[in-house]
Amino acid sequence: MASVLATLLSATLLGLDGRVIRVEVDVAPGLPGLTIVGLADAALREARERVRGAIRNAGFIYPPRRISVNLAPADLPKGGTSADLALAVGILLGSEQFRPRPGRVALIGELSMGGEVRPVPGTLPMVLALDRRGVRRVLVARPAAAEAALAGDVEAVPVDSLADAVDELRSRRRRDRTRRPERIDLSPGGAGAAVGGEARVVVGAEPVPDLEDVRGQAAARRALEVALAGGHGLLFLGPPGTGKTMLARTVPGLLPILVGEAALAATIVAWVGAVEPLQALVERPPFRAPHHTSSYAAMVGGGPRLSPGEITRADHGVLFLDELAEFSRDVLEALRQPLEEGRVEIARAGRAASFPARFQLVAAMNPCPCGMAGADDGRCTCREGVPERYVARISGPLRDRIDLWVPMTRVAAREFLADTLPESSAVVAARIAAARSLQLSRPPHRLNASVGGRPMRLLARLGPAAQARLRTLADAERLSGRGTDRLLRVARTIADLGGAAAVDEAHLDEAARFRAPAARPIDALAAAMAGR
C-alpha cells in the first residue's frame, strides 16, 4: 500500500483570536508510530494517546503504520486539544477506513480515550476564523454547538463521538441542525435585566443607579452624556461626597446594546476562562470597575497562563477607575498603549500574547490626598505642592487621552430640594444612542473618539466662523495639533447630540470647557470649582 495524505481543517486559539490550522496526516508503510511536527504544545503532543484510544474504542483500527502529522501554517504556535478530532479523522482517512463525501468541512473537538468528542474553550472565535476562510460547515462537540452557531452563517453540526463524526462525514442524511440561539443577555448579572424600558439594570449584585436619582451636578451629567455619546475618556475630579462614583455607576444604564461584530467580541471576552460552552450572545456592553489595589496582571493581563486582564474584559465597554491617582504607576502607564491602539501586548517568560482592549475610560479621583483641595471652605490639610503632585500622577500620555475633565463640588441643599425631577437614564440613553448611530452611519463608521486625525477635520465641517474660533481656542490654550484634533472630536460629538450637521462655535466652546486644566492644575481646578 502506498502512502495516503489526508488534509483537514481545524482551528486553534491564539490569545482570544481563533486561527485556522491545516492538519495534514500522512499514513505510509514503515515502522509504526506517530510524529507531529509544526509547533505543537504539550497538550497537542499528548493527543497521540487520546487519538489512539478513541480510534480503537470507536470500533476502527489504529493503523500499524508510519503516521506523520504536519500542522500548518508552520510558524503558528498550536496549543490545546481542539485538533484531536481532525487528527483522528485524518488517520482514518489516511488508512482508507471510510470514504468522505465531498465538501469543505472543519472539525473542532477534543477526544476522550473512549472516543467521545468534548467541547473546547474558545469554540466561537475558532468558528469565526473558519467562517472568514469561507468554511460553511463545522463539526463540533454537541455541548459547543450553540456556541458555534453564534458565529452566524456557519452550519454547526453537533457530534457526540468519533464514530458519530465519521458517520456525519460519510452519510448523506441530514441531521438536526443547531439553530442560532435567541439573542438573550447572559452578561454577568445581566440575565433578565430589561434593555431600556422601565426595569432597572443590574450589574453583578449591585443595582445600577438611575440618573433620576442623581441630584444637581448638571455640568457633570452633561459631560457624562457627551463622553458616552462619542466614546471619549472622562475624569470626574472632586472631594468625597460629590457623587462622582454614583454618577459613574449609572453608565451601564446609559449605553446602547451591542450588535454584530461588537456583540461577538464582547461575548468572547465575557467568557474568557469559562469552562462551560456559551449559549447566547452578550449584548450588554461590559462595565468593569476594578479596585485601585488591583495588581498589574489583574488589570493589564499576564500571570502564568497569560490571561487577559480588566482592560480586555472591558473591551467594547467602559473601564471605570475610581480613585484613579491611587492606581499604581505601572498600571496607569500601561493604559497608554490600549487607549491608543485598542490592544494590549503582554509578555511573560518568553511567551507573548495580544488581547483586544477597546475600552472607554471613565475615571474619578479626589483633587488631593485629603480630598479637600479646591473646596471653597479651605479645609485641605495637604502641604503646599502636594495637591499639584497628586493630580500630576495623571501624567502626559494618560492626561492627553482624557478629553473631558469635570470638576465637581458638593451639591447645594436647594438642589436636593428642587421639585423638578432630573432626567432619567432612559431619556439620556436615547440621546446617546441617537448620537452614536449618527457617527456609525457616516464614514469611517466609528465613534468620534476612535476616528483618525485627518478625517476628523473633514467630519467637523467647520464653517469660516467656526474655523476662526478653533484658531483662537488653539492659541489661547496653546493646543498641539493632537490637542486640537481631540478638541474637535468632542465638539463633533456635541454637534451630533444636537443633531447638527456642522460643528459651530458653541460646540467648540463647550468642548474647550471640558479640557484638562492647563499648567497649574489645582489653581485652575479651584477656579473651576468656584464657578469658573
Nearer to Zn ion, 102 or 385 (CB): 385
Burial of 324 (0-12, 13-18, 19+ CB in 10 A): buried
- Give min distance, CB of 364 to Zn ion, in A: 16
Indicate whether 380 belongs to the interface with Zn ion (CB under 5 A). Answer: yes
- Give min distance, CB of 415 to Zn ion, in A: 25
Nearer to Zn ion, 404 or 525 (CB): 525
- Give min distance, CB of 367 to Zn ion, in A: 7
Among residues 321, 382, 429, 497, which is the contact residue for Zn ion, using CB under 5 A? 382
- Are 299 and 307 in contact, with CB atoms under 8 Å apart? no
Nearer to Zn ion, 246 or 370 (CB): 370
Nearer to Zn ion, 331 or 368 (CB): 368
- Give min distance, CB of 527 to Zn ion, in A: 17
Cell of 368: 488631593
| CA separation for the pair 521, 413 (Å, rounded) | 28
DSSP H/E element including 270: helix 260-270
- Give min distance, CB of 393 to Zn ion, in A: 14
Nearer to Zn ion, 255 or 380 (CB): 380
Summary count for the chain: helices (H), strands (E): 22, 20
Q: How far is CA 190 from CA 32, 79, 82, 208, in A?
A: 54, 32, 30, 11
- Give min distance, CB of 411 to Zn ion, in A: 20
DSSP H/E element including 336: helix 336-341
| CA separation for the pair 220, 529 (Å, rounded) | 12
Size of the site for Zn ion (CB under 5 A): 6
- Give min distance, CB of 390 to Zn ion, in A: 8
Positions in 477-506 near Zn ion (CB under 5 A)? none
- Give min distance, CB of 379 to Zn ion, in A: 8
- Give min distance, CB of 326 to Zn ion, in A: 14
Q: Could you tell me which stretch among 38-46, 226-234, 380-388, 391-399 binds Zn ion (CB under 5 A)?
A: 380-388
CA angle, corner 233, sides to 517 and 267, nearest 5? 170
- Give min distance, CB of 522 to Zn ion, in A: 9
Residues whose CB falls within 8 Å of the CB of residue 177, separated by 6 or more in sequence, listed in order: 155, 156, 157
Write 171-178 long-range contacts (CB < 8 A, 24+). 171/101, 172/101, 178/145, 178/146, 178/148, 178/149
Q: How many CB atoms lie within 10 A of CB 381?
A: 12
Nearer to Zn ion, 331 or 365 (CB): 365
| CA separation for the pair 337, 357 (Å, rounded) | 9
Nearer to Zn ion, 12 or 409 (CB): 409
Burial 512-532 (b: 16+ CB within 10 A, else e): bbbbbbeeebbebbbebbeee
Residue with cell 462551560: 276
Positions in 340-379 near Zn ion (CB under 5 A)? 368, 370, 372-373
Q: Which of 344, 467, 240 is nearest to 16 (CA)?
A: 344
Nearer to Zn ion, 361 or 372 (CB): 372
Nearer to Zn ion, 83 or 391 (CB): 391
Residue with cell 439553530: 179
C-alpha dihedral, 150 to 313 to 76 to 126, nearest 10°? -10
- Give min distance, CB of 520 to Zn ion, in A: 16
Nearer to Zn ion, 59 or 378 (CB): 378
Positions in 173-202 near Zn ion (CB under 5 A)? none
Nearer to Zn ion, 125 or 239 (CB): 239
- Are 130 and 138 in contact, with CB atoms under 8 Å apart? yes
Q: Could you tell me which stretch among 184-192, 335-343, 381-389, 516-524 binds Zn ion (CB under 5 A)?
A: 381-389
- Give min distance, CB of 377 to Zn ion, in A: 12
Q: How far is CA 531 from CA 337, 374, 407, 414, in A?
A: 35, 11, 10, 17
- Are 473 and 479 in contact, with CB atoms under 8 Å apart? yes
Nearer to Zn ion, 121 or 387 (CB): 387
Binding site for Zn ion (CB under 5 A): 368, 370, 372-373, 380, 382
